[in-house]
Structure 1
Amino acid sequence: MIPATAPADVRLDLITRREIALIDLREEAPYAREHPLFAASLPLSRLELEVLDRIPRKDTRIVLYDDGEGLVPPAAERLKGLGYTRVSALADGLHGWRLAGYELFQDVNSASKAFGELVEARRHTPSIPAPEAKALIETEPNLVVLDARRFEEYRTMSIPRGVSVPGAELVLRARALAPDPSTTIIVNCAGRTRSIIGAQSLINAGVPNRVMALRNGTIGWTLAGQALEHGRDARFPDVDAAREAEALAAARDVSYRAGVRRLDARGLDILARDTERTLYRFDVRTPEEFAAGHIPGFRNAPGGQLVQETDVFAPVRGARIVLADDRGVRADMSASWLAQMGWETYVLDGGFNRPLETGPSSPARPRAPRVETISPADLSLRSAWGGTVILDLGPSPAHRKGHVPGAWFTIRSRLAEALGKVVPRNFEAVVLVSPDDTLARFAAPEVEALTGRLPLVLEGGAAAWAAAGLPLETGFTRTASEPDDVYRRPYEGADHAAAAMQAYLDWEFGLVEQLRRDATHGFHVI
């Protein structure tokens, strides 16, 4: 029997900042339709792939919920098997939260976006509408446009003259990009949050230039009927020692005003030995810098994205967060925002003089079950004979882009339904495919329990199939599950309907009032 936790008790933990991980087990699209403010999306279908990094302490208080889909019992069983000891179910699930009259939020990263709206409301962050920005860009040479998104997003679409400067880099790099104090700086993102936080970061750090956020980002630009550019690769430059020292002094002052604490390597070691508190350790530098050498035990979380996607990186509300950065500025500025969002936040002084690890972040995952595998070449031959059912468990965007021919798109948490739809009585074999075969390995025992026969797993996954030069099928020609595993964000990509983009903006405009009604956030704005 899974213990139940009343919605009122969850809310009390959030208000008093006791550690709690409120986990939504549904797929991302239904999660984005409605969820409590600090609920984190961790779908049952991907639980083993993500939970060890996202909830690192095994006796964290975890409260699971769904909306009547029956996801909680298998999730609780899996977590128990992984060693988690304090798992309960939200009483009556999401319906219980509704019955209690508590606020429900839409979209993803809702807490971070609501915080961004609160910053603008409290600080009156200057902004410029798209038509005025376009006129300035076309006529004013003494102007720079700094795009605060990830480089991949910037490369997909950007506004004219934009330079990629992901959020945490802004204070460090702005003085090099706009050394003349009379130069106007426009900060943009796709929607609102990173524009607001980026512009306010520069203002908080005392950059002398006129600084404005592009109002409503590339969405606002598009709704104004203005053309975006695609495929640009203009990146931020490095900075000289004098400008870096100036930026560091400013960033440290901001973090001090926000209540950020500092510790050295010895202090970090002491915090890490506290088994009663969750400790997240994030390296907020660029992925390239992280891969070149990072402190053991730290995960890469570029600062701008950490502030934007805090619920993804740190779903345990009330945990401690330590940030590392060999240049200091990015950690101080990122920490200043996390502290204002109510986190107990520290900046590590030094620490990079230890032996460093190299390579990108690698997820912590439990040992996958032993399975029978099939090579890409053998699957290619076997599928031509007929009788083999191929289930693709990878993300729906990847399936749409290209999958093993004949494969059925399937969500792991709905395997029983999918198998009932697509597996005939006289089937020869079921083959499971996932991006790198890990997810398929975890799903294999579930398929065996449902069919009475052990499935095969494509060795190396879809990546190995593509690497072997075998043909791919595109689109959604076979769907055994509804492709709602990924929420299609109205602010990513350039092919969204104007109505969807405007509806998203209207939702963001209402977030400050939602925060007031919800009253669990604990945000403060310096």
Structure 2
Amino acid sequence: MQMKELTAQQLKPLLTDGGEIAFLDIREHGQYGEGHPFFSVHLPFSKIETLAPRLMPCRSVRCVLMDNGDDVSIRAAGILESLGYSNVNILKGGSFAWTEAGYTLFKGVNVPSKTFGELVEHEFDTKSVSAEELHSMQADGKELLLLDGRSRAEFHKMSLPQAKSCPNAELGYRLPMLVSNPNIPVIINCAGRTRSIIGAQSLSLLNISNPVYALKNGTQGWRLAGFDLVNNIAINNLPTPTKEALEHGREKAEELITRYNLNTVTEDIVQNWLKDKNQTSYLFDVRTEEEFSQGHVKNSISAPGGQLVQATDEKLAVRNARIILSCDNGLRSAITAIWLAGMGHKVWILQDSDMSDTADITPENVRVIQTMTLPELKMHIDNGLKILDASTGLNYRKGHIKGAKWVTRARINYEELGNPEDWVLTGSCRMLMGGIARDIEATTGKKFKGIVKGSIEEWRAQGLEIIATPDQPTERECIDYLFFVHDRHDGNLDAARQYLKWEIGLLALLDAQERSVLSPLHPVIK
């Protein structure tokens, strides 16, 4: 395997040298969210076998691993080598070396996407309404259309009174069925800022007659204004486009492709790209997951366009890779492509494709095989066998078998455990358990006495005593959970204020290199 250490100063220029590169932060979610480099993508060590093939489908890609200065990168590099990756490098000194070199670590998640959203608002002077203005419009009975541009699951958890769910990529595609009066204002909301801005600007791309606004600061701004949200909302069905609307959307897509000089490609070329072992290609279906399940282009992966723009770093890790977008009439692909290209990605729109395939080629989770039943677990515990719990730190806090020791893969000390045959490994996530089980066998040559997945309810049903430890593991130990403004949607208004201040301030944190990749597209043909 080609592996070497790079200093932060050596790595920095490589991130924008034009070649493919995956800068991977392999720390756990809490560590990553407390501060990471702008161009890094999160690949937690605890789930590396499962997530690496999804984020880096080409095994020859140049990748660089960053840890917390604790040598976890060395372990991760060995695992990637076993998976077939041939160009693995390590950032010498980890995250501490990055800051010592004078470079910024960014708090939060989906930082490039959220920073881009802020830039879009500055660039296009996105029209917005405040929570107070929207509340007054509703109180006065003014006719308006309020659309929540987030995912359907987020909408169900909480949204605004009178809002309907319509994820961002669906806005232009579905709007003709949602409003017929061209004078009715359309307001797009999210939970904070980015998706409201991108949603409103997506409709503006289409030059629709309706006045379009982003709701300033989203649901958090609504709560800060003293208004109540609606929880556990029944999700409305998305309207099915008529034949006329589909054709109109196709014409709009062609207009956008021409106006913005977007790349297009045919399916035969894309399928050859996907076979290329020396260059990375991602084929994303930007329609809804339901549409994808009914039929899609061969070898495509479901990535609804609104979320792909909002959380690009959760779907792809390789900068300068080829990104190909697929949908039915081209409209959702074109709008998504405009935003991804503005974020510095190389994007193509797939044309004239066969969407009859139903296979899901998403790499499966690498999971451990259960070797013990719950009744057997109860018997062994009664006989004094020791228990390891590989659940997330927060799930362990909520409830675990009395006497169980919490472990996280990145920090487990296998020597302290002694003989693994004296332990049973439990947990609620087979993916997390699987990594520890493989590590213990590779380190000691032995296996755990048993491995059994279960939930609090299942353990309690077996007569096992379940206890909660609200402060254990401590926040410092709970490296897999991000505590930064974590309760901003649960009534903590100070956290909401802190979050909005953080998001608005992202642009000011960029250095010249980071700022250089973000350039919202303008029409080349008016």
CA 1:162/1:489 → structure 2, altered by over 3 Å: closer, same or farther? Answer: farther
Give the structure 2 partner of residue 485 of structure 1.
480
Q: How does 1:58-77 map to 2 (within 5 A)?
A: 58-77=59-78
1:503 corresponds to which residue? 498
1:448–1:454 CA contact under 8 A, matched in 2:
yes
- 1:412 equivalent to 2:409? Answer yes
Could you tell me which residue of structure 1 aligns to residue 42 of structure 2?
41
Letter of the 1:391 partner, please give it. L
For residues 273 and 450 of structure 1, the distance between their equivalents in structure 2, rounded to whole angstroms, comes to 35
Alpha-carbon displacement from aligned partner over 1:95-151 (angstroms, at most 9, x marks no partner): 222232223221101000000000000001111111111111222342011001111
Contact (CA 8 Å) 2:409, 2:435: kept in 1 or not?
no
Residue in structure 1 matched with residue 339 of structure 2 by the alignment: 337
TM-score in terms of structure 1 length: 0.90
Deviation at residue 365 of structure 1 after TM alignment: 5.2
Partner of 2:240: 238
Once the two structures are overlaid, the 10-residue window that deviates more, 306-315 or 135-144, is 135-144
Q: How does 1:429-444 map to 2 (within 5 A)?
A: 429-435=422-428, 437-444=430-437
Alignment of 1:192-271 (within 5 A): 192-233=193-234, 234-271=236-273
Q: Provide the rounded CA distance (Å) in 1 between the counterparts of 2:262 and 2:450.
A: 48
CA contact 1:158–1:229 (8 Å) conserved in 2: yes
- What's the TM-score once normalised by structure 2's chain length? 0.90
Q: 1:229 to 1:447 in 2, by over 3 A?
A: same
Task: Deviation per CA, 1:20-78: give whole Å up to 9, x if none.
Answer: 11111111112112111110111111111210111111111110112212211101111
Deviation at 1:443, TM superposition (A): 1.6
Q: Is the 8 A contact 1:372 1:456 kept in 2?
A: no
Distance (whole Å) between structure 2 residues aligned to residue 250 and residue 454 of structure 1: 59
The equivalent of 2:281 in structure 1 is: 279
Distance (whole Å) between structure 2 residues aligned to residue 262 and residue 304 of structure 1: 20
- Measured at CA, do residues 320 and 405 of structure 1 come closer, stay the same or move farther in structure 2, by a change above 3 Å? farther
Matched residue, 1:382: 380
Deviation at 1:10, TM superposition (A): 2.8
Aligned to 1:6: 7
Report deviation, 1:381.
3.1
The answer for unaligned runs of 5 or more in structure 2 is none
Distance 1:374 1:123, change over 3 A: same
Matched, 1:462 2:454: yes
Report the Cα distance in structure 2 between the residues aligned to 1:471 and 1:317, rounded to whole angstroms.
51
SS at match of 1:68: coil
Which segment is superposed worse, 246-255 or 88-97?
A: 246-255
Secondary structure class of the residue paired with 1:85: coil
TM-fit CA distance, 1:286:
1.3
CA RMSD of aligned residues (A): 2.9
Counterpart amino acid of residue 501 in structure 1: A
| Mapped partners of 2:447, 2:347: distance in 1 | 48
Looking at structure 2, the residues matched to 357 and 518 of structure 1 have their Cα atoms a distance apart, in angstroms, of 42
**Cα distance, 1:467 vs. partner?**
11
* TM-aligned CA distance change 1:490 to 1:207, over 3 Å: farther
C-alpha spacing 1:30/1:285, structure 2 compared with 1 (3 Å): same
Residues of 2 paired with 1:81 and 1:331: CA distance?
Answer: 36
- Checking the alignment, whether the CA contact within 8 Å between 1:389 and 1:407 is kept in structure 2 is yes
1:28 counterpart residue number = 29
Unaligned runs of 5+ in 1: none
- For residue 85 of structure 1, what is the aligned residue in structure 2? 86
1:512 maps to 507
Residue of structure 1 in register with 2:315 after alignment: 313
* Structure 2 residue identity aligned to 1:363: P
Alpha-carbon distance between aligned partners in 1 of 2:104 and 2:471, rounded to the nearest angstrom: 38
Count how many residue pairs are aligned between Structure 1 and Structure 2. Answer: 516
Work out the CA distance in 2 between the residues paired with 1:221 and 1:491.
18
d(CA) in 1 for partners of 2:370, 2:186:
57
Matched to 1:416, the amino acid is N
Query: Share of identical aligned residues, percent?
Result: 34
SS at match of 1:16: coil
| Cα distance in structure 1, aligned partners of 2:283 and 2:384 | 49
Q: Check the 8 A contact 2:420/2:449 in 1, yes or no.
A: no
> Counterparts of 1:45 and 1:345 in 2: how far apart (Å)?
31
Kept after mapping to 2: 8 A contact 1:40/1:312: yes
In 2, Cα distance between equivalents of 1:5 and 1:478? 38
Between 1:137-146 and 1:159-168, the stretch displaced more is 137-146
